Amino acid sequence: MAAQGGRNSAGRTGATEPAAAPAPGLQGRRILFGVTGSIAAFKAAGWVRCLANEEARVTVVMTRAAEQFISRLTFGALSGNRVHGDMFASDPEGIMAHITLSREADCVLIAPATAQTIARLAHGLADDLLSAAVLAADIPVVLCPAMNTNMLHHPATRDNLDRLREIGYTVIAPASGSLACGEVGAGRMPEWDLVRETLLALFADQDLAGRRILITAGPTREPLDPVRYLSNRSSGRMGYALARTARRRGAGVTLVAGPVNLPDPPGVRVVRVTTAVEMRDTVRTLAEGMDIIVGAAAVADFRPRTCQERKIKKRGAVTSIELERNPDIMAELGRNRRPGLLLVGFAAESHDHEQEGRRKLEEKNLDLVVVNDILGSRTGFDVETNQVTLLTARDRRRLPLLSKEATADRIWDRVVELATP
């Protein structure tokens, strides 16, 4: 959309649009990556690659046991950096490595973390390079325990993990499933997505801590018969980006999502719905406990008056579909709002962007409206980027073209300002 509520002509005419700013991610973050002796070490190789792809700066420290499972060469090639392992390396870079490694890092990630390494760290031992480097570190430490279920549940390991949590280390709970030892249970390495989010949260301001936030996302589907429905092109990406970024910033997040093809953001409660009425009912039930509600869903405004139980046959010659209005979820919330609840809506517009955004701000009694252009090639539906204008009763702020996550972060910045008296 254009600055004065006009149209984003660039999007439609194919004229050059500004390049999107990089996503807020792990780019440039310096990760000291400890790998210990578990068969899950091969997964760590994939994670190092993910970090390197994201342009994080990874330095790997391996224990001797880890080298039984995977070679230094693998991590050296994937990280592009020297791999450390010798406590008593005599070269100038290696000699003080147990001190310098953590000084030159923003956080430590140990994955997989074996029972042995966990015990070492819990007792403050410093008898190998990794444990000495962690002992010398005054940066955040994240552990991904991975081991046999019985080892994990052994009181000694549990006590050690409790001790590490007390110290302030972040312990990511192992996933459950079939383990390399043939048993089934807890002890697997978690999904990378969860680990990545944990790292991102370490680097994010926790300015939404303690806030309970509900976000609607995606389209709704309004059935016509058992095989057909009315819907729209919403992918849910903007709402999901809001959920991820809010979680990173410390909020308790509930996502009420229509049918979308996106993975659940780690740490977010996701409630799946299909129709607008289901979404309204779910939001109504959950609204009670919320501090902030964001309507990022593209709720279908109309639904077929009747849903046929059986498939409509073409011989039946249906030439028109009778529609009825769906509830307007944000408008209902705006009408019945309790003091202190902050309401954020979106305005998906093809024309008269700002004017329409202001109308929705007032008519729905919202605190903030995020106006976006649905016709731009890099804004709106089904793309990774967005360019929005933030409207409040007092002012307007136009954001540049950004990734949807970066846009989400800027929306939260504004929400934090509005929520701070």
Residues in contact with ligand CTP by CB under 6 A are 216, 276, 295, 297-299, 301, 326, 328-330, 345-348, 360
Establish whether 144 is a catalytic residue. Answer: no
Give me the least distance between CB of 293 and ligand CTP, in Å please: 10
- Give burial (CB, 10 Å; 0-12/13-18/19+) of 94: middle
Q: Which is nearer to ligand CTP, 25 or 357 (CB)?
A: 357
Length of the chain: 421
| Residue (of 164, 158, 60) closest to 120 by Cα position | 164
Q: Which is nearer to ligand CTP, 200 or 296 (CB)?
A: 296
Give me the least distance between CB of 255 and ligand CTP, in Å please: 13
Q: Which is nearer to ligand CTP, 1 or 132 (CB)?
A: 1
Residue in the shown chain whose Cβ atom is closest to ligand CTP: 295
Give me the least distance between CB of 297 and ligand CTP, in Å please: 5
Q: Which is nearer to ligand CTP, 115 or 293 (CB)?
A: 293
Q: Which of 50, 107, 144, 181 is catalytic?
A: 181
Give me the least distance between CB of 257 and ligand CTP, in Å please: 12
d(CA 141, CA 73): 25
Give me the least distance between CB of 20 and ligand CTP, in Å please: 23
Q: Which is nearer to ligand CTP, 39 or 262 (CB)?
A: 262
* SS3 per residue for the chain: CCCCCCCCHHHHHCCCCCCCECCCCCCCCEEEEEECCCCCHHHHHHHHHHHHHCCCEEEEEECCCHHHCCCHHHHHHHHCCCCECCCCCCCHHHHCHHHHHHHCCCEEEEEEECHHHHHHHHCCCCCCHHHHHHHCCCCCEEEEECCCHHHHHCHHHHHHHHHHHHHCCEECCCEEEECCCCCEEEEECCCHHHHHHHHHHHHCCCCCCCCEEEEEECECCEECCCCCEECCCCCCHHHHHHHHHHHHCCCEEEEEECCCCCCCCCCCEEEECCCHHHHHHHHHHHHCCCCEEEECCECCCEEECCCCCCCCCHHHCCCCCCEEECCCHHHHHHHCCCCCCEEEEEEEECCCHHHHHHHHHHHCCCCEEEEEECCCCCCCCCCCEECEEEECCCCEEECCCEEHHHHHHHHHHHHHHHHCC
Q: Which is nearer to ligand CTP, 103 or 397 (CB)?
A: 397
Give me the least distance between CB of 264 and ligand CTP, in Å please: 20
Give me the least distance between CB of 380 and ligand CTP, in Å please: 11
Q: Which is nearer to ligand CTP, 260 or 298 (CB)?
A: 298
Residues annotated as catalytic are 181
